[in-house]
Amino acid sequence: MTADAELWRELGQQLRVDSIRCSAVPKSGHPTSSMSAADLMAVLIAKYLRYDFDEPKNPANDHLIFSKGHASPLLYSVFKACGAITDDELLTFRKFGSRLEGHPTPEIPWVDVATGSLGQGLPIGVGVALAGKKLEQLPYHVWVLCGDSELAEGSMWEAFEHAAFYGLDNLIAILDINRLGQRGQTMHGWDLASYVRRIEAYGWNAIEIDGHDVDAIDRAYEEALTPNGRPTAVVARTLKGKGVNAVENKDGWHGKALDNPEEAIKELGGERKLVIDVAKPEQAKPRTFDSGALELPTYALGSEVATRKAYGDALLAIGEARGDVVALDGEVSNSTYADEFAKQLPERYFEMYIAEQQLLAAAVGLQVRGWKPFGSTFAAFLSRAYDFIRMAAISRANLRLCGSHAGVSIGEDGPSQMALEDLAAFRAVHGSTVLYPSDANQTAKLVDAMADLDGISFIRTTRAATPVIYGPEEEFPVGGAKVVRDGDDVTIVGAGITLHEALKAAATLADDGVSARVIDLYSVKPVDVETLRESAEGTHGRIVTVEDHWPEGGIGETVLSAFADADERPRVTILAVRELPGSGKPAELLAAAGIDAEHIARAARQLVEAEAVAR
């Protein structure tokens, strides 16, 4: 045995022992899923990883992503072995207040993204690798430890597909094929050839090894680092719970601390105190792109422009002004208008094809590297990536998302293409911002604001051309609302397409002697509580809300929430889409849903009359 191999084996045992030790304290966690991959990580950190633990933001650092986030005991044991955390801290695993949570999050400086929802680490790794290869032209590598259970997730195969398509030979997937899932054997067990066959069919280099043979691991990593235009998968046969007879390759030990940790540690040869001086990367500077002065597009008052078009125009302008802005789209860029960016700034545009999960994951990976991604598709299809959006919030990711073709107002395409739940879904994302412009100048301002927002921001755009009602000089702070028409009998709150219906309704109502105030709730979250409360007070506590969205979790409930604990709570009529729409002309569908000008005017009139009766 070489000295290297001896060290690697000892290190692997240490990682196992520490995985057991840290899980033993809270009596929970996933030690057996950690033990299977310990040798794979030992060889990696001892010889291949290039990482400066003192400077996690060093742009030349490799990236190590645990797609199988539940193997956090192993990851934290790796951090200890690399001298990044103390043994004392390791033993705070899963304790309230500890940054060593049950699954990794970027609360830890050496963790790029939160994992734990399986099938996300590899597609995110694709984004990080894309940044290195296509944008920064840096030689770092992205190492992603994957489980075998998560290979059932389609998102993993989106990642295999995209990584090969983009020639990401800086990406190495380490597949820990330990055969056992949570409740029994995986679909393919130890049939490694079945994985190799698939992965090679996608155009990757696949290397099948015994994941406990450190020399084989060494050779595989060596080969993986040979650039050949193709990503590499190291497909490793491993034993779950390796090294401890009570649990090794035994069912029923997923996600459980060991019954007898002390005996297990003894069986593994006891505690070690190896500290690895992980090789630092050579200094290198990422390629950057020029920045310039921002010239936002402007639109003439009274002209008709779709907010989706304004999104595309503004995205291009912002991209030209800021070298750190990148864009992605899910093969609908000629509908979302992201194609303007794609055509003018092709080096910073990534076509994700119809793979919304990979789209989101790539955006998360790009922002790991400090880029400012804007991702777009039909708002309805962002629902395909909802778990990725949820997890991105836990990753503290800064993402800008645009969903076009919202609501019944898209017309003939029918309900499969209509986002009617997106406001609810995005509002229920931690720390999110939800914007819904009604006008092209407003859209441009909001898209510009998004570039500097933290967290997940979402902008909902409309298919149809709508009148430009704001001058290009107006400002639209996030968290604000605009009173677009004054009145004192009733407040009508709309946004996007329905704002225009609300304005039409207000005109009709004026003819009937009803004075309606109209509020443009372009910032759905955060919402402008003050303007809403003032307006309610100024209109006898009467509000009609109208939205091209289901009634649940959208504009109506947002408005209600602004008054939940207020001293004066208005009477609110919520107009929303309540029946499943079909196809038809936009005007027909708005009318059928009861959210057009006529229905708004009727609701406002009823409210004024009902309140009159009530008093």
Binding to a second copy, residues 2-31 (CB under 8 A): 26, 28-29
With 0-12 / 13-18 / 19 or more C-beta atoms within 10 angstroms meaning exposed / middle / buried, residue 199 is: buried
Options 384, 445, 463, 482; binder of a second copy; rule CB under 8 A: 384
Options 106, 256, 274, 550; binder of a second copy; rule CB under 8 A: 550
Tell me: does residue 564 bind a second copy (CB under 8 A): yes
Shortest distance, position 612 Cβ to a second copy, whole Å: 13
Tell me: does residue 381 bind a second copy (CB under 8 A): yes
Q: What share of the chain is helix, strand, coil (3-state, %, to 5)?
A: 40, 15, 45
Tell me: does residue 73 bind a second copy (CB under 8 A): no
Q: Given the complex with a second copy, which of 56 and 203 has the nearer CB atom? A: 203
> Angle at Cα 186 formed by Cα 180 and Cα 190, nearest 5°?
75
Interatomic CA distance for residues 527 and 229, integer angstroms = 48
Q: Given the complex with a second copy, which of 127 and 181 has the nearer CB atom? A: 181
Neighbours of 343 (CB within 10 A): 11
Task: Write phi, then psi, for 464 (nearest 5 degrees).
Answer: -75, 150
- The piece of 296-304, 351-359, 397-405, 474-482 that touches a second copy (CB under 8 A) is 351-359
Binding to a second copy in span 259-288, by CB under 8 A: none
Binding to a second copy in span 475-494, by CB under 8 A: none
* One-letter amino acid of 483: V
Interatomic CA distance for residues 208 and 237, integer angstroms = 8
Tell me: does residue 115 bind a second copy (CB under 8 A): yes
Tell me: does residue 415 bind a second copy (CB under 8 A): yes
Q: Given the complex with a second copy, which of 128 and 359 has the nearer CB atom? A: 359
Q: Given the complex with a second copy, which of 214 and 380 has the nearer CB atom? A: 380
356 catalytically annotated: yes
**String of contacts with a second copy for each residue 117-146, x by CB under 8 A:** xxx---------------------------
Tell me: does residue 197 bind a second copy (CB under 8 A): yes
| Cβ pair 159, 122 in contact under 8 A | yes
- Give the rounded distance of the alpha carbon of 230 from its chain centre: 26
Shortest distance, position 434 Cβ to a second copy, whole Å: 9
| Cβ pair 21, 268 in contact under 8 A | no
Locate 29 and state its tokens.
């966690």
Tell me: does residue 497 bind a second copy (CB under 8 A): no
Q: Which of 208, 320, 356, 501 is catalytic?
A: 356
| Cβ pair 308, 496 in contact under 8 A | no
Return the axis-axis angle of helices 307-321 and 440-450, rounded to nearest 10°.
40
Tell me: does residue 201 bind a second copy (CB under 8 A): yes
Tell me: does residue 554 bind a second copy (CB under 8 A): yes
Of residues 433, 329, 310, the one with CA closest to residue 378: 329
- The piece of 103-111, 132-140, 266-274, 435-443 that touches a second copy (CB under 8 A) is 103-111
Q: Given the complex with a second copy, which of 35 and 544 has the nearer CB atom? A: 544
Interatomic CA distance for residues 279 and 576, integer angstroms = 59
Q: Given the complex with a second copy, which of 496 and 554 has the nearer CB atom? A: 554
| Cβ pair 522, 438 in contact under 8 A | yes
Instruction: Please identify every residue annotated as catalytic.
Output: 356
